[in-house]
Structure 1
Amino acid sequence: MNRACRHSILVLCGLAFLSGCADDPYQKTKIGAALGGLIGAGTGAAIDSKNRGRGAAIGAAVGVLAGGGVGLYMDKQKKAIEEQLSKELANHDVELRKLPDNSIEVDLKSEASFASGNSDVKPSFSNALAKLGGVVKQYDSTMVHVIGHTDSQGSDSFNQQLSERRATAVANSLTSAGVDPSRVRSEGRGEAQPEASNVTAEGRSQNRRVEIYLKPVVEGKEQEALQTPK
């Protein structure tokens, strides 16, 4: 039996198993999550050859959401993060917002999370990342993109490397808290995308940050979840 036949049989078996949930108002979302691996395997074949590995990763470890359930799913995830990080949000060490595409942006302020010029997460902030990872672990129909940024102090190469190391440190903290590594992408952008002027100390402080984007994996649009936010 070839791979395509095996995949078709698995899909049919999965649908048969879930057909008993017809009275469940969240049936579509549950079907999307339960068949994430099967749908993802088909999606992987549709992605160009250099990205097939990433397409397969979606199928292996990430659930898939039906379109109608995305907003509610991400709202629940955002509320759970707010509850777990209430102290950090009140202190403005973390900022949280939901974006128009239903993604969630979590901004970590550098002063709270890292010492100056250092890429080791401060011990005082480790618990915050552990709590965040605990929530993200439960909402496995999201991909996680971690992006590091710096101010313009220092050389371009130093800032680029620092931003990469900090993004990796945050990503590692999330996976240590139980988030599947195949769901997580990290990169650094150095000083290239400032949020404020680097002329003032206040502006430089705003530019030193790590951003985490939680992107929903939506049925039929799985590849969009793999695209790193601009």
Structure 2
Amino acid sequence: MSNTVSRFTRGFTVLAAAAAVAVTGCANMSETQRDSAKGAGIGAAAGVVLGGLTGGSKGAAQGAVLGAGAGALGGYIWSTRMQEQKKQMEAATAGTGIGVSQTADNRLKLEVPADAGFATGRSQLSPTLVGVLSQFSTTLQQNQATHVTIIGHTDSSGSDAINNPLSFDRANATRDYLVGRGVSATRITTDGRGSREPVADNGTPQGRAMNRRVEIYVAEPASTAAR
């Protein structure tokens, strides 16, 4: 069994490397096509390993086909629409303290810190956040294929009985504003994490301010690229 594992692990490594080289060399591919090809190559390599472990060479071949399909269709894409939305939101948030970035899994992230979003213990949107969300709603209308996830966070001050519902209230208040601006509620998922996921030290005022935040993620499923 160990020889089989070793043989197919080496096969995975070779196929994954070959897929990466092939995709990198396709200079004429669009970013979407490169992401799909990359996913297909990695999926095929994984399929070879899993199929080989369960069914020898025949299983490896079948696993490669199934893995390629799963790799091509899974995950998110960073399309030209997503790149344009990022540029527009960078312009809209300039000077506000709201961060705009592309995540490792190809989502657009807006991180709204306390001083740009909500007063302590409150879920009412600040004027700064209202202005940003107004532009954000426009960019969402321009790319109807995306889904939005909004997650509220608090610092550790107070009890979970206060912090947990407050984090939900902040996420829901953000969603409600976007819906009021014409974004379909079916495109938006909200969650509240209370104080469970700090990004800074709750022992300092500066750290607590960083932990009181709302994170907004925009994702375009890779499956929409083929439509």
Q: Structure 1 residues 116, 71: closer, same or farther in 2, change over 3 A? A: same
Query: What is the SS of the residue equivalent to 1:186?
Result: strand
Matches within 5 A, 1:107-126: 107-126=111-130
Alignment of 1:172 onto 2:172: no
Do the aligned residues in 2 keep the contact of 1:71 with 1:102 (CA within 8 Å)? no
Q: TM-score, normalised by structure 2?
A: 0.63
Structure 1: 4+ residue segments shifted above 2 A: 65-73, 88-91, 122-125
* Length, aligned pairs only: 158
Q: How far 1:127 sits from its partner (Å)?
A: 2.0
Do the aligned residues in 2 keep the contact of 1:74 with 1:104 (CA within 8 Å)? yes
Match of 2:158 in 1: 154
Tell me how far apart the structure 2 counterparts of residues 206 and 122 of structure 1 sit (CA, whole Å). 16
Matches within 5 A, 1:191-210: 191-210=195-214
Correspondence for 1:143 among 140, 147, 157: 147
Match of 1:163 in 2: 167
Match of 2:90 in 1: 82
Do the aligned residues in 2 keep the contact of 1:98 with 1:104 (CA within 8 Å)? yes
The structure whose RCO (Cα within 8 Å, separation 6+) is larger is: 1
Deviation readout 1:187-211 (Å, 9 max, x if unpaired): 1000000001100011101100000
Do the aligned residues in 1 keep the contact of 2:148 with 2:216 (CA within 8 Å)? yes
Tell me how far apart the structure 2 counterparts of residues 166 and 69 of structure 1 sit (CA, whole Å). 28
Tell me how far apart the structure 2 counterparts of residues 68 and 150 of structure 1 sit (CA, whole Å). 28
Q: Structure 1 residues 98, 111: closer, same or farther in 2, change over 3 A? A: same
Tell me how far apart the structure 2 counterparts of residues 66 and 72 of structure 1 sit (CA, whole Å). 18
Query: What is the SS of the residue equivalent to 1:90?
Result: coil
* Ranges in structure 1 where 5+ consecutive residues have no aligned partner: 1-24, 30-64, 223-230
Q: How far 1:69 sits from its partner (Å)?
A: 6.9
Correspondence for 2:223 among 191, 213, 219: 219
Q: Which amino acid aligns with 1:90?
A: G
Do the aligned residues in 1 keep the contact of 2:167 with 2:193 (CA within 8 Å)? yes
Matches within 5 A, 1:4-19: none
Asked which structure has the greater CA Rg, the reply is 2
Percent pairwise identity: 34
Query: What is the SS of the residue equivalent to 2:222?
Result: coil
Q: How far 1:91 sits from its partner (Å)?
A: 3.3
* Ranges in structure 2 where 5+ consecutive residues have no aligned partner: 1-28, 34-72
Q: Structure 1 residues 66, 77: closer, same or farther in 2, change over 3 A? A: farther
Tell me how far apart the structure 1 counterparts of residues 149 and 77 of structure 2 sit (CA, whole Å). 21
Tell me how far apart the structure 2 counterparts of residues 183 and 124 of structure 1 sit (CA, whole Å). 24
Match of 1:91 in 2: 96
Query: What is the SS of the residue equivalent to 2:174?
Result: helix
Tell me how far apart the structure 2 counterparts of residues 123 and 71 of structure 1 sit (CA, whole Å). 31
